[in-house]
A and B are shown apart, each in its own frame.
Chain A
Amino acid sequence: MNATGRPNWRRLNQEGIVFAIAILLFAAAALGLPGFLTADNLVAIVRSVSVLGILALGMAVVIIGRGIDLSAVAIMAMSVAWYLQLLNTGTSDGLAFAYVIAGVLAIGLLNGFLVAYADVPAIFVTLATGSFVFGYVRSQLITQDAVPVPQGHWVELLGGVRFLDIPIEVFVFAGLAFLVFLFLRYTKWGRFIYFAGDNPVAARNIGIPVRPMLVLRYALSAVVALIAGLLTAASLHSINTRVVNSTLLYDIVLVAVIGGIGLSGGRGGVRNVLVGAALIGILLNAMTIIDIPLLYQNLIKAAILLGAIIVDGIINPRDEQTAQQGDI
């Protein structure tokens, strides 16, 4: 409501719309579905989107800086698969982890370097490095799609860690969300990301180190992907590289975008990721309880996304700047 007493439709942006849909869904499920509004189920909802949310946090930081990281899922699955393969073939834990973290950073830095200094569009760079990471690791470093966690290894034990009966992923997700929030909101480099994403040329002209920051973002995204992969392996006691072929990558972009982080960069924050993840989590959980077949689940998910984008397009028309520069 504004001063004239009429609803202020301008303020209702995509984040608001999606949040409203999430609340509505939540209320409907709580009333209509037995067993939805229990502590266990609420924890399960948050947990089911934890890994997705963690990956979306990394993606959000990249997208706000007007980029995109399509190699995130490949890095997540292949780094952990390689790590476990090294452990299974007898490499010492410290050395194996050092290899993997070096590899992950190398790919992140390569992504950043190619985008920042070679001026190749992020969408092509990361698509290519993602395929490269998958192809190289799958063909040269591991022998099978699924690599098990060695028995008694800390990754396996990590999966069993609970505080107050809440799985560890939830805390990692919450912790990372808080850290990214602090980074984006209160650090100089965090604020600069918005400037760089909104208008890279102007940001560079006022002396912001746009290129090194770009490289940093892709390295950050790669490390976040590794964390997500470790948590996946911790819970399942193995990692299956088939996930690279799944729709996970689109789901990550979906969570970020549906929450209202514009693909044109410079807008959004951690809150948008949380809203997007909440909607997806509630939606999937409710549909599973109702026992809707997967085909229809995808249809419903897509319809809601489309609806949110259309409503956003009507309420917040594209501005002059985006029209000129285009999205990514």
Chain B
Amino acid sequence: MRLLRALIAAATALAVTAFAAPSFAADDPGPAAYAKALNGKRVMLVPLAMGFDLAQGWAHYLKKEVEAWGGTFETRDPNWVVDAGAQAITDAIASDTRPDVLIIHAPDLNSYSKLMKKAQAAGTYVLLVDNPANFPADAFVGSDWDKLGQLEAEAAIKGCGENSSKKIGLVQGDQANSSSLYQYAGIMKVLEKHPDFQVVAKPDSNWDATTSRNVTTTMLQQHPDICSIIDFWDGDATGASAAIRDAKLDGKVFLVTTGGGEKAADCDKLNDGTYGAVVMTDLARQSGDMNAIIKFLLQSGQPAGTSHTYIYTLEKATTKADLKPDSCWDLKALQAEAAAK
């Protein structure tokens, strides 16, 4: 009996190898070409800083993928200092281990343009992430900030409702960062179509929570009947929310902001009512887009700077009502996963 079973098993194995193997593995040129193009390639991420949710999320997903195809993944941490970022990029281009792909999170429209040109001239593909810049990179992956502003404005209008004061306050970032400028443009586009809604104040927070709190406090005192505030980043919207709380206007002022969709930063705060709506970036998908374009560029054989692709991430305004368990990603979980390795 045992012999019979062994015989059958052997016959099956034979049959599988005899019929299946030759028709697949030997003919598919994909994996070999893939490995040849990607193996040993270097990818470097230079974000504004490594200390905040977006950068840590990107780094997590990119590292996982790059290392899986046999590449090297590195990050540099300029810690919000533009000069330090420029230095990091300069060093990277000049070093013996020049990265094949440089992913740059630009602080403003112009600062790194010359350096990115240099990188491309040296043969490094340049990807811009999140913040657009005045430079024809090989690819831009990130938000269409104008569209994002429109989504925020629509969420604010909806949050206010028809029977409200129809007064909206803005807490802008600054007057240099493209994400702030385009967001503003997008918001204004929507508000033009709703002439009954008006922006009563539009101070800058300089991306600082304390400043955001102070300007929002003043704004609410000047216009206590504001029905919605749009703060341009969840990193400083904690300040605007503190001002609303202090003015005892919780639930009366609909706070809209935007962020990377991290659980503690966004979903938890939607859940407890701090934020009315958050236009969230799907970070895993955005990182996936970056991974795909990196793989494409490395296999394309085209010189750096040949093509210019824009890959805008799908954005959506999320409110408490449409919050799902997977609406956010959890930085703590990713860190625990990284620590466990």
Contacts and interface: CB of A to CB of B under 8 A. Distances in A.
Nearest to B79: A245
Interface string A281-316: 000110011010111000000000000000000000
Given A237-B238, A245-B81, A41 B246 contact: no
A264 interface: no
B209 A44 contact: no
A295 B203 CA distance: 11
B137 interface: no
Nearest to A295: B175
A293 B204 contact: yes
Contacts of B203: 288, 291, 294
A236 interface: yes
A131 to B, nearest CB: 11
A246 B175 contact: no
Interface in A266-290: 284-285, 288-289
A41 to B, nearest CB: 5
Interface string B197-230: 0000111101111100111011101100000000
Contacts of B210: 51, 232, 235-236, 243
Interface in A123-161: 138, 143-146, 148, 159-160
Interface string B304-341: 00000000000000000000000000010001000000
Q: DSSP class of B's interface residues: helix, strand, loop or mixed? A: helix
Contact of A246 (B206, B219, B238): B206
B209 A238 contact: yes
B70 interface: no
B239 A236 contact: yes
Interface in A206-265: 232, 235-238, 240-243, 245-246
A26 to B, nearest CB: 15
A311 B201 CA distance: 35
A167 interface: yes
Q: DSSP class of A's interface residues: helix, strand, loop or mixed? A: helix
Contacts of A236: 209-210, 213, 238-239, 242
For chain A, the bracket of interface size reads 35 or more
B52 interface: yes
Nearest to B335: A143
Nearest to B56: A144
Interface of B: 49, 51-53, 56, 79-81, 174-175, 201-204, 206-210, 213-215, 217-219, 221-222, 235-236, 238-239, 242, 245-246, 264-265, 331, 335
